[in-house]
Amino acid sequence: MVTVITGGVHSGKTTTAKKIIAGYSDCRGFLSEAVVTDEGLIGYDLLFIDSEERMPFIRRDGHADLGKKRAYTLDRYIFYDDAFGRAESLLFSLADSAPESVPDTVAVDELGILECRKEGFYRGVERLLSRDIHLITCIRDQFIKPLSGLLNLKDIRLITV
Q: What is the pLDDT of residues 19-36, one digit of tens each?
A: 999 999 899 999 999 999
Q: Residue 80's pLDDT is what?
A: 94
Distance CA 142, CA 123 (A): 20
Structural domains in the chain plus CATH codes: 2-160 (3.40.50.300)
Query: What would the pLDDT profile of 95-110 be if each residue is shown by its tens digit?
Result: 998 888 888 899 999 9
Q: Which helix (H) or strand (E) holds 48?
A: strand 40-48
Cβ–Cβ < 8 Å for 31, 14: yes
